[in-house]
Each structure stands twice: as structure tokens, then as C-alpha cells.
Structure 1
Amino acid sequence: MKRVLLLGGTGDALAIARRLTKPHVYSIAGLARVPADLACEVRVGGFGGVAGLINYLHANDIALVVDATHPYAARMSRHAREACTAAGIPLWAVRRPAWQSQPGDDWREAANWRGIVEEIAAFHRPLFTLGREPLAHLDEIPASQHWTIRCLDPHEGNARADIIDARGPFDIGGERALIDAARIDVIVSKNSGGKATEAKLAVARERGLPVVMLVRPSLPAAEREFDEPASALDALLAFDTNTQ
């Protein structure tokens, strides 16, 4: 049987991985939690760049790569495209649609960290939902600001920052409670798409809070692209049947 390599670390990828069996491989970065209930092989860690990924594809008889990484994991997506092209292996991708602004939203786009800092300069109590990046800037917090940072893993804060380790999905009630308790006046977010972390945007709309949205990176094209995991899984199961 030809093997499928699923590049994951997202809820969408995990939904697919739960339906896979050996010898297929679910690959996650070392920073992600390792699921304990999967029937497929689980691989943890990087590949060593494009060259390392090419070697892995050949050495493990991989017939298809499915890129279901985070929409902001552009480097991994580029490496997957380059490696699959060099190895002559098809690449599929699960590309979650971005959130779209709605009436009542006040969204401001930022291209990078510097742009985010500029956009929030006039605010005092930002809520960061960017993952780990704000943790590298805890010693740069302006005297006029107090940050609330939500990320997946525990991390020590300081007198000017509260760190919340939490994993979605988040509901509207919980997001209201957090935003009100922390007196948030601006939300900083990746445009991740999906339902799991969308509630904060609804609360921002209710409260009239601005949202600084980090612009999505451009991603390489794939032979097939899916906007949700169920359709990707159907195609993947058909591929599995046809290659046995």
C-alpha cells in the first residue's frame, strides 16, 4: 500500500488523522501536543528543510502529501510544494477560508509585528491571539499598555502582561467574560478562519472593539485544494482505495 503523509498540527488535520490507519503518517511539529488515540503512524519534529523532506518522501515510499498545516505556516507549505515537485509526488492542501468582515466590524490590517505595534499604539489593553510571537516582546511593552496574551502553552508573564494558556474552541460567553474582565480595548488576531476561535470576533462586534488582523501569507498552489477537512477526507479515502 502506498503511504500518505499528512502535514498537520491543526484541528482540521487532526480530524483527518483520526480516520487514517497505518501505514499512513501524521506529521506534527515538536511544539504540538502528540495525540494518543490515533491508529496511523505519528511523526514528531521537522524534516531538515526541503532536502530532508525529499529524502523522507523517497525513503518512506510516500505517494501523496496532504498539507493541512495552519494558514500561517507558510514556510512549511512552501517546503512541501518544493519537495513534492522535486520528488514527483502530488500535493493536496486543506486551505481553511479566511474570516470575512461583517457589518459593524472595525478591522485594521497589519502585515507584520511592526505593523501590529503601530496599529495598537493608541490602545491600552490589547488581547493578543497570535500564538507565541508576543512572548518574544514582553520587554517591549509600552508604559501605557497592559497586554493579555492567549497562547497554547504556559509561559511566565510579567507585571505588564498576563499569559493565558488555553486551547479552543472558545464560545461567546467565555470570550465575553475574558474581554470584560481584562478590560480589553483592542483584539489582535491572525485571520485563521474556522469556527473554533471565531467567537472573539462576534464579541468585538458587540462591544464595538477594533480588531487588528495579521494579513495571511500567500501559499503555493496544490494539485487539489479543499476548504474543509470532510471533503479532503473523502478524496483521501478514495485515493487510499485506489492505491492498495
Structure 2
Amino acid sequence: MNILLLGGTGDALQLARQLDPRTIYSLAGLGRVPQDLPCRVRVGGFGGAVGLAGFIRAEHIGLVFDATHPYAAQISANAAHACAQTGVAYWALRRPAWQAGPGDDWREVGDWADLTRALQAFRRPLFTSGREPLAHLDEIPPQQHWLVRCLDPHPGNARAQILGVRGPFTMDGERALMQQHDIDVIVSKNSGGSATEAKLAVARELGLPVLMQQRPTLPAATRQFFDLASAAQALLATQNRP
């Protein structure tokens, strides 16, 4: 069976490494493109749900597997719609969200305006929420200095430093980063998974609040998986089906 694997996450890359050339691994192209995969790699958008449906038909795709980021709501919506149009199964890996525990000071925020209001009480935020802050570097209040961590390098300015680095991150590394930059609040998406969870443990240890951005609502899938091992097992079994 030809499989379209929608990726861009560490989980998706682990799946792609196990699948053969009947699988097309699709990336938006915002980060590094792996060169050593046994499956095919496609980079770029599809042109919405209609374009994706056309691609599914042209490539004789029998299964679309959504392993995109939990906050990549638009591509997930397009995939669900395209699969409904073409009658193709739509499976998804839905990484469980992190849960606040004793000692955590998590404050849920919604859109950018909501986040900006919540940040007014702080001076030195650490953004670990992707590329969105890069579009607002000219709006930084005079009392604040931002430290923005995202996947790829980007120019900062007098009030912002950009770190282009990739996880996984360790407790020691996160602690050193926060203390070196005198961080007083963490901005995070509730992505789940272990690769970037250390920042939350360090925030708890240092007594730092976390502004946690709400998860978007994602479409229902024909089958949903909540851990990487079961997703890999199901994909391999499907790929090898006569």
C-alpha cells in the first residue's frame, strides 16, 4: 500500500526511518530535510485540501498518516477533508498533552493578544513555542528582553536573542540557559512528548511560571494512536499487507 506520511516532527522522522519507498514522507520545508531515509521525501505544500486530494489520487495513496505537530491544525484539517473526498483512510498520531503537577504554575493562554497581555508582568521571557514570536520582534515592550528558541537561526534585534537549536533538551542544559539569561517566565505550547519536557521540570524547580498556549481542536481520525510504538506497528503491518 502507498502511504502518505505527513511529518515535520521527531516522531514522524522515526516512523519514516522504518518505512520503504512505497511511503512518501511529506515536509513543509521549514526545517532540515533528511537525506538518509528509505522512503521517498516530498517538500512543500499541497495547495489546501483540494490540492492534497489531487495528490492522493495521482500517487494512488491508500492511507494518509498524520504525524504533524499537535499545533499544525490547518494541515490536519486539510488531510481529514482530503481523505473524506477521496475515500482514503486517515490515521493520526495524537501525542498526549503534558499535565500540570504539584509545584507547577501553569497559566493557559489563547491567541497572541491573550499571550501579550499575560506577558506584561514579566521582563525576560523564554519563548519555546516555535516561529510565531519572530513576527513580533518589533513589538517588544521597552521593559522586556526576549529569548526565542526555534528550530533554525534567525536575526534578532536589540531586545531579542534568537537561538536556532533542536531538542532533545536536558535538565542541566535548560537550567543553565534559564539562569544565564535570568528568565522569569516560560512560553510554551503543550506539545507533549519527552524531547522538550525538561524545561517544565526546570521551571517547577526554579519556581517559574509557564504560559501554556492552548491546543487547537484537531479533526477525528479513522484510527488514532497515542504512542509511537503502536503507530509504527500498525504502519508496518499495513505497508506489508499483500
The two structures have a TM-score, normalised by structure 2, of 0.99
The DSSP-based 3-state class of the residue aligned with 1:39 is coil
Report the Cα offset of residue 32 of structure 1. Answer: 2.4
Shift of residue 115, structure 1, vs aligned partner: 0.9
1:90 alignment counterpart: 89
Shift of 1:37: 1.1
Q: 3-state SS of the aligned residue for 1:22?
A: coil
Q: Could you give the per-residue CA deviations for residues 135-155 of structure 1, whole angstroms, max 9, x where no partner exists?
A: 111111001111100011111
- Pairing 1:149-188 to 2, within 5 Å after superposition: 149-188=148-187
* 1:109 CA drift (Å): 0.5
Letter in structure 1 aligned against 2:59: N
Distance in 2 (alpha carbons) for counterparts of 1:206 and 1:39: 42
Quote the offset at 1:237 in angstroms. 1.2
Between the aligned partners of 1:12 and 1:221, the Cα distance in structure 2 is 19
Matched residues in 2 for 1:229 and 1:193: separation? 12
Q: In the alignment, is residue 144 of structure 1 matched against residue 143 of structure 2?
A: yes
Alignment of 1:42-53 (within 5 A): 42-53=41-52
Q: Which amino acid aligns with 1:186?
A: V
Identity fraction in percent: 63
Q: How many residue pairs end up in the alignment?
A: 242
Q: Is the 8 A contact 2:6 2:25 kept in 1?
A: yes
Aligned residue number for residue 71 of structure 1: 70
Partner SS state of residue 240, structure 2:
helix
Q: Does residue 107 of structure 1 match 2:106? A: yes
**Secondary structure of residue in 2 paired with 1:64:** strand
Residue 188 of structure 2 aligns to a residue whose secondary structure is strand
Deviation string, structure 1 residues 65-120 (Cα, Å, up to 9, x no partner):
00000000000000000000000000000010000001000000111111111111
Q: Name structure 1 gaps, 5 residues minimum.
A: none
Q: Which runs of 4+ in 1 moved over 4 A?
A: none
Let me know the Cα RMSD of the aligned residues: 0.7
Match of 2:219 in 1: 220
> Is the 8 Å Cα contact of residues 31 and 152 (structure 2) preserved in structure 1?
no
Specify the alignment match of 1:41 in structure 2: 40
Q: Does the CA-based 8 Å contact 1:12-1:228 persist in structure 2? A: no
Give 3-state SS (helix, strand or coil) of 1:21's partner.
Answer: coil
- For residues 239 and 185 of structure 2, the distance between their equivalents in structure 1, rounded to whole angstroms, comes to 46
Matches of 1:241 and 1:59 in 2, distance apart?
Answer: 21
State the match for 1:26 in structure 2.
25
Return the alpha-carbon distance in structure 2 between the equivalents of residues 234 and 123 of structure 1: 45
Aligned to 1:225, the other structure's residue is in SS state strand
Give the Å deviation of 1:33: 1.2
Deviation at 1:236, TM superposition (A): 0.9
| Cα distance, 1:206 vs structure 2 | 0.5
Q: Name the residue aligned to 1:5.
A: 4
Q: Which residue is 1:55 aligned to?
A: 54
Normalising by the residue count of structure 1, what TM-score does the alignment of the two structures yield? 0.98
Q: Residue 26 of structure 1 aligns to a residue in which SS?
A: strand
Cα distance, 1:241 vs structure 2:
2.1
Indicate the SS of the match to 1:154.
coil
